[in-house]
Amino acid sequence: MSLYDVALKMETDSRAFYLKQAEASENEGLKQIFHKLADDEKRHYEYVRGLGFVNEDFVETDVLVDVKNVFTKLLEDQVFFDMELSTIEAYEFAKKMERESAEYYRNMQDQTEDEKTIKILKMLEREEKKHLLTLEDIILYMQKPETWVEDAEFTIREEY
């Protein structure tokens, strides 16, 4: 299996996971976040599939802004969640997928000398890191909503 085939499978698997989480969620805000993540993964798939062939501008995700808005609203409405162990494990698994995807795109950059391909791979790496932060925010909010504002919203994060 080629590097690109692996990347395509990662994006497909991630999208399927997020769609499943959206379907399982009873909260509309979380459904919205998971659908946005799934849409991002579909877009990533298209970019990976077209590496070296398309000349499109890459549109970066704004999922972190959506997460902030959703969780700020949930906090204002005092909506709290009881997370089952299986839910936490699923989100931890998703974090692992996103971390591995980011690392994979980082490693793929060393496999090519084509500047256009490297640029897209760097953008994909940043996207996956944003997804990782999104999942961390979801877990943090669900476990400790009262500290989410301190830990997530006002934490200085690395620019992607």
Domain residue ranges in the chain = 3-153
Q: Give me the pLDDT at residue 24, please.
A: 85
Q: Give me the pLDDT at residue 154, please.
A: 43
User: Position 157: which residue type?
Assistant: R
**Dihedral sign computed on CA atoms, order 23, 25, 31, 34:** negative
List average pLDDT for each run of 10 residues in the chain, which is 160 residues long.
Answer: 76 88 83 89 85 55 55 58 66 86 88 82 89 86 66 48
Nearest to 98 by CA among 134, 139, 49, 61: 134
How many CB atoms within 10 Å of residue 132? 18
* Predicted TM-score (pTM) of this structure: 0.68
Instruction: Give the Cα separation of 32 and 29 in Å (integer).
Output: 5
- In CATH, 3-153 is 1.20.80: no
What does the DSSP 8-state code read for residue 111? T
